[in-house]
Chains A and B, each alone.
Chain A
């Protein structure tokens, strides 16, 4: 560690577990899988702890690795032929406690029906409040592509919300 920052593993879990879990959950749409991904990401962080140079570096690393591991998990699931849930009224074993709001819950279900790249861009934009340039860095994609995914994803999600979430969406 060049700057002398001594990362402690447990406080890093405390600080970032909600972010890591939420990213994985919104990318995979599966509570159990998201928890498994979050565990794997933290264990990977533990193996790479010496490389972390600052709290910001750890945060950026966690975001990038979580998105990458979520994409891997989705790819593995596609290979095994398991589809993501797409019916918004269906319950898929997600634990019902600790849901922030009915809208949040249903938005998560709608998100899962979007193409993966658009979903990734939207999750980073609206959950993590990142600018397109920062999203591009996390996803290793060109900024123009990210902007396009954001625009298309937002329109698509809005269109789906207009059908399924009429009570929450103005103008629907």
Chain B
């Protein structure tokens, strides 16, 4: 690709000249006029999205907490109900046992009375 096939010194000088021209040809170009405005706009939009996402997270967390609290309350209520039901059953069982004992006692008393007459 080296097109410089004359004197080696000429070649180097030409490359140096070209490099010098490159410095001036490759000055920084001004940025497009709206670049900063667009960056700031996208930044603000990203910030809004972030804030919205934060709120959504908070709302989701609150809903989860509320659901958990409601579930716990329901579970507690049902456990209470279950315990009450069990206690009631125990009372009924005790009453049945007492009833049967009284009946037996009654029968024995009746038999005893019959015997004594």
Q: What residues make up the interface of A, taking CB atoms closer than 8 Å to B?
A: 9-10, 13-14, 17-22, 25-26, 31, 35, 38-39, 42-43, 46, 95, 98-101, 103-104, 107, 122-123, 126-127, 129, 152, 154-159, 161-162, 168-171
Contacts and interface: CB of A to CB of B under 8 A. Distances in A.
Choose among A25, A123, A127, A168 the residue with the greatest number of B CB atoms under 10 Å from its CB: A127
30 contacts: A10-B36, A13-B35, A13-B36, A13-B40, A17-B36, A18-B29, A18-B31, A20-B31, A21-B29, A21-B35, A26-B26, A38-B35, A39-B35, A43-B39, A43-B43, A95-B32, A98-B30, A104-B29, A107-B26, A126-B23, A126-B26, A127-B26, A127-B27, A155-B1, A158-B3, A158-B14, A159-B1, A161-B18, A162-B3, A171-B10
Interface residues of B, number: 30
Contacts of A39: 35, 38-39, 42
A25 B35 contact: no
B4 A171 contact: yes
Contacts of B18: 154, 157-158, 161, 169-170
A94 B38 CA distance: 18
B30 A18 contact: yes
A33 to B, nearest CB: 12
Given A39-B39, A155-B2, A156-B1, A168 B28 contact: no
B19 A35 contact: no
Nearest to A162: B3
Contacts of B115: none
A18 B26 CA distance: 12
Contacts of B2: 155, 159
A154 B28 contact: no
Contact of A98 (B21, B29, B38): B29
